[in-house]
Amino acid sequence: MINLHVLFADDEPEVRDIIGAALNRDPFFVLRGCASGREALAAAIEWRPDLTLLDVVMPQMDGPEVLAQLRADKRTAPIPVVFVTGRVHARERERFAELGAAGVIAKPFDTIRLADEVRRFVPFERVLSPAREDFLRRLAADAVTLSACRALLSHAHCEPALTRIYAIAHALSGAGGIYGFAGITCDAAALAAVARNNLAGCASRVDVEQALDRVLKRIGPSLQ
C-alpha cells in the first residue's frame, strides 16, 4: 500500500485532534502532529514528511517562518507546505504562494472532506496517476539492488557498490517528489551525498549504511 507521510502543526490541541481524527480515516496517510512551529521544524528535519500542513498563526515561530526555514535547509527544501488557515482572501493566498506554499486549506474545514482536500496536493492523485505503477515497480527494483549493495559495503573493494548506490539515490532524489514522495526525495538526496563523500574519502562506511537503511525503511512500506 502507498502511504503519504503527513506532518501537521497547530498550537490548538482541539484543532490537532480534529485534523488527526479526520485524516486517520484514510489509510493513505501516516500522520505526525506538532504543537508549535519549532516542533514542526524539528520534526520535518528528522522525519522528512511528504507533505506538511501548517497553521499560519502560532507563537514563537509562525507558519510562514517555518516554511522559510524548511526552504533554506537542503534536507527539507523539497517538502510541500500547505497552510491551514482562516486567512483565505485572494491577497492572502497570493502572499502565501509568493512565500512558496503549495496551497491553502481554509478554516473551518469540513472534517469529512479534509482527506480529499489533502489529496489534492499529491501529484500522482491527479495527472501523474497513470505513471504511478511504473514508479512503484522502479522503487521495488531499486530496493532490491540497494539491499544487495549494502551487503557488499563491508568488502575491501566496495567502490562498485558505492557507485551503484550513488547512481540510484541520485535518480530517486529527482523522481520521488514528482510522484508525491518528497520524503523519499530528501532521504535519497542525503544518501547520494554521503555515498559521493565516501567515494571521495570524506565519509565513513557507517555513514553510508545509516543513510541507506533510512532510504530502505522509507521506501519499504510504499511497496506493500
Mean pLDDT throughout 172-197?
93
Question: In terms of pLDDT, which residue wins out, 61 or 178?
Answer: 61
Is pLDDT above 80 for 129?
A: no
Helix (H, G, I), strand (E, B) or coil at 218: helix
DSSP code at position 124: G
Burial (0-12, 13-18, 19+ Cβ within 10 Å), 132 = middle
What is the pLDDT, as a whole number, of residue 19? 97
Mean pLDDT throughout 75-86?
95
CA max distance for the chain: 62
- Residue 13, CA distances (Å) to 18, 33, 34, 67, 146 in order: 9, 10, 9, 21, 41
Burial (0-12, 13-18, 19+ Cβ within 10 Å), 80 = buried
Mean pLDDT throughout 21-31?
94
Q: Are 53 and 39 in contact (CB under 8 A)?
A: no
Quote the pTM value.
Answer: 0.87
Is pLDDT above 70 for 194?
A: yes
Mean pLDDT throughout 111-131?
80
Q: At what angle do helices 182-199 and 205-219 cross, to 10 degrees?
A: 160
54: confidence class by pLDDT, cuts 50, 70, 90: very high
Mean pLDDT throughout 187-209?
95
- The closest of 59, 61, 38, 44 to 5, measured between CA atoms, is 44
What is the pLDDT, as a whole number, of residue 224? 47
- Which sequence spans correspond to the domains of the chain? 4-121, 129-223
In CATH terms, the superfamily for domain 4-121 is Response regulator (3.40.50.2300)
What percent of the chain has a predicted confidence (pLDDT) above 90?
75
Burial (0-12, 13-18, 19+ Cβ within 10 Å), 139 = buried
Taking 3-state DSSP, the helix, strand and coil percentages for the chain, each rounded to the nearest 5, stand at 60, 10, 30
The answer for residues whose C-beta is within 8 angstroms of residue 136's C-beta and 6 or more apart is: 2, 222, 223
Question: In terms of pLDDT, which residue wins out, 177 or 220?
Answer: 177
CATH no. for 129-223: 1.20.120
What is the pLDDT, as a whole number, of residue 99? 94
Is pLDDT above 80 for 221?
A: no
